[in-house]
Amino acid sequence: MREVEKTFVIEIAFDAAQLSNRHKSGVALRFPRVARLRQDKPAAEADQLETLMRLVENVPA
pTM of whole model > 0.85? Answer: no
pLDDT digits (tens, 9 = 90+) for 2-19: 777 788 899 999 999 999
pLDDT at 38: 93
Cα–Cα distance, 33 to 21 (Å, whole number): 21
In a structure prediction context, what are the per-residue pLDDT tens digits for the chain, which is 61 residues long? 677 778 889 999 999 999 999 988 889 999 999 999 999 999 999 988 888 888 888 766 5
Beta strands (DSSP E) in the chain are 10-13, 16-19, 27-30, 33-37
